[in-house]
Amino acid sequence: MAGSSGEALKRRIAGFGALAVLAVLVVYAFWPRDVMPEGAPGGTAAGMAASPDAHAPSPGTTPRIDVPSAGLTQNLPPVPPRGSPITARLEDINLSPQARLMAEKLVCVCGCNDILATCTCNETPGSRDMKKYLQTLMDEGKTPAEVESAMVARYGDKVLPK
């Protein structure tokens, strides 16, 4: 038992050591080359310029490519100007449970052929107008048969499912 806990400790220490080495490699890979101290592999920008072979990369490093910034954007399409955000005020129609049940039995007249309860069109006449009228009829205490006949009278036979 004591031997196995010692082995677990050794494995844990080895794991942390490997993690530390990985962290050092990641930091080294992403460390900017122009801020390295004099004498370090790669040197500073001033040290590299002073060397006779300034443009040759040192072994194991990625060469830097100096690209002139002029002309880089000449082939890109122009960025459209930013305007004011588009906002729309949609009136949410909250149907009572009885009106929602009735809306499940009717079809929207906007032309989508969806049931009234699920249609969200912006047409006039459309689902919002129909839902408002349906809720008004339900608030007046109309029976489902009276509501259906009132909807047919106002919007036509298109409100009845086929």
pLDDT band at 57 (very low <50, low <70, confident <90, very high): low
Alpha helices (runs of H) in the chain, residue ranges in sequence order: 2-30, 45-50, 97-103, 127-139, 144-155
Q: pLDDT value at position 38?
A: 57
pLDDT in tens, 63-113: 666 655 556 666 777 777 777 776 666 666 788 999 999 999 999 888 888
Superfamily in which the 97-159 domain is placed by CATH: Cytochrome C biogenesis protein (1.10.8.640)
Q: Are 116 and 127 in contact (CB under 8 A)?
A: yes
Q: Has residue 139 got a pLDDT over 90? A: yes
CA gyration radius, the chain? 37
Task: Return the closest-CA partner of residue 109 out of 92, 128, 83, 95.
Answer: 128
> Domain boundaries in the chain?
7-50, 97-159
Tens digits of residue pLDDT in 79-92? 777 777 766 666 66
Q: Quick one: which of 132, 144, 131, 140 has its CA closest to 98? A: 144
Mean pLDDT for the stretch of residues 16-22? 86
